[in-house]
Amino acid sequence: MTDVLTWTVQQRLELEERAELLRKELAGIESQLTRLEAAEVVFGQWAEATDGGRRSPGIVEPEPEPEPEPERVAAGPGAGGMRLVPDRAEGMGVEVLTSEYRRIMEIVADADGPVMAKDVAIALGRETTPGKVEPVRGQLRKLSDRGWLARTGAGRYLLR
């Protein structure tokens, strides 16, 4: 009879230990869930305020103190915070884009219909490996986000 009582007490103690570990794990998971829910709310507010990142959130940074002017060096697009792909405005031509982005625009314009990133990569003379196609996909998306191209639901691109 004492063996049964001893076994019962041991089982209860083991289950209490396991229950405590599970409570701690559950508390950690609930904490992560709370953080993710807060992040979703913040991201949703940001996306709503900026139309998914397509326009400025309207936050004004304070002007920094002026520094003495350094020696002038010629700089092209992409240098010193200059955008490689500016937001397209009415009457703006492709001449404001870098040569690689102009070439992408030509490839899309010459296509019979919407093009995939893989097609553009091939036309640029690149391999069709993911490491070579993904940067092209990023460039197409940037052109689309800034109003130069339209993106279809199937992830293809065409002129606006």
Q: Please give the Cα distance from 102 to 105 (Å, whole number).
A: 5
List pLDDT tens digits, range 30-45: 888 888 888 887 877 7
From the list 140, 142, 146, the residue with the least C-alpha distance to 116 is 140
Other beta carbons within 10 angstroms of residue 117's beta carbon come to 22
Pair of tokens at residue 33: 């869930």
Q: Which helix (H) or strand (E) holds 151?
A: strand 149-151
List pLDDT tens digits, range 41-88: 787 777 777 776 666 666 556 677 777 665 554 455 555 555 678 888
- Residue 115: the pLDDT is 92
Q: Please give the Cα distance from 143 to 125 (Å, whole number).
A: 20
Pair of tokens at residue 67: 């520094």
